[in-house]
Amino acid sequence: MLKKLTLALALAAASFTTLAAEDAKETKIVSDAILALVPQAKLDSVTKSSLPGFYEVVTGGQVVYVSADGKYLLQGSLFDMATKRDLTEARLGGIRKELVDQVPKSKRIVFAPKDPKYTVTVFTDIDCGYCRKMHQDIAKYNEQGISVEYLWFPRSGPGTPSFDKAVSVWCATDRNKAFTEAKSGTDPKSATCDNPIAEEFELGRRVGLNGTPTVIAPDGTQIGGYLAPEAMRQRLDSLASVK
């Protein structure tokens, strides 16, 4: 009996080693295929997908699916029809949450009610029209029990007027006041200091931002784009109800 058990364990270990080697080989094939297609790509992870015969590749805030032989690439949402769940968005949400949660409160500009029901992270640009529209209603978001924590994403990038305005707001004596004034169209007084603007801009690129404002729920779900205060509260309630 003991000999049979020992033999079974040895066979299982050999099988596991073989599968691990096969996975490693396929992972390299997939990685090489992506890099051959996009040499400058930074691969955050390459793992087996729920889609048989395909690997999930996370790169640049996006998720794509590549066949194990490296011949085919799928880009889009992978939807589980049995559970009615968007597996791609769930994966992206986890990535966003992990990255955004690393930013401490000290590197955010926060507008919060006394006892918030929800906290959203908003990547913003001073000169973005819908960003300004959103901030005009900041009191109403707070009335809905929503704390808004701003991170910076000057869409025009470093060395541009929008980027410099973000730095000036951050370096102001009263950041929240300077932020609100800048959102109303008043150019902030020029100032420089140690600031998180560049690192938050890079963070936005890593989570795959393609516009502002980008509103991210506590679980990492991207819920906007601009949403009116009541609509945002409804969306947050809806997300919370399915947990």
Beta carbons of 49 and 78 less than 8 angstroms apart: yes
**Cα-trace Rg, the chain:** 23
CB 89 within 8 A of CB 221: yes
| DSSP conformation class of 188 | P
pLDDT of residue 44: 87
What pLDDT, in 10s, does the model give residues 4-28?
A: 556 555 554 545 455 567 778 889 9
Return the CATH number of the domain spanning residue range 23-86. 3.10.450.70
* pLDDT digits 0-9 by tens, 39-77: 998 898 899 999 999 999 998 888 999 999 999 999 999
The H or E element containing residue 222 is strand 222-224
Give pLDDT, residue 116. Answer: 96
Cis ω before 161 (30° cut-off from 0): no
**Domain range summary for the chain, segments of one domain joined by +:** 23-86, 99-241
Q: What is the pLDDT of residue 243?
A: 61
Stated as kind and residue range, the H or E segment containing 75 is strand 73-75
pLDDT tens digits along 145-198: 999 999 999 999 999 999 999 999 999 999 999 999 999 999 999 999 999 999
Span 89-148, pLDDT tens digits: 889 999 899 999 999 999 999 999 999 999 999 999 999 999 999 999 999 999 999 999
**Cα angle at 63 between 205 and 147, to 5 degrees?**
55
pTM passes above 0.85: no
- pLDDT band at 241, cuts 50/70/90? confident
Q: What pLDDT is attached to residue 16?
A: 45
CATH number among 3.50.50.60, 3.40.50.1360, 3.40.30.10, 3.40.50.2300, domain 99-241? 3.40.30.10
**pLDDT the model gives residue 1:** 60
Question: Taking the CB of residue 65, how many other CB atoms lie within 10 A of it?
Answer: 20
Q: Exposed/middle/buried for 137, CB within 10 Å: 0-12, 13-18, 19+?
A: middle
- Give the number of C-alpha atoms closer than 13 A to the C-alpha of residue 42, restricted to the C-beta side: 7
Q: At what angle do helices 161-170 and 175-183 cross, to 10 degrees?
A: 150
Task: Specify which residues 147 forms β-bridges with.
Answer: 119
Rounded distance between C-alpha atoms, residue 222 and residue 216, angstroms: 5
Quick one: pLDDT at residue 17? Answer: 56
Q: What is the pLDDT of residue 194?
A: 97
Where do runs of H (alpha helix) occur along the chain? Answer: 2-37, 87-100, 129-136, 138-143, 161-170, 175-183, 197-206, 229-241
Once rounded to an integer, what is the mean pLDDT over residues 217-223? 93
- Which residues have a catalytic role annotated? 125, 128, 131, 155
Q: Provide the mean pLDDT of the chain.
A: 90
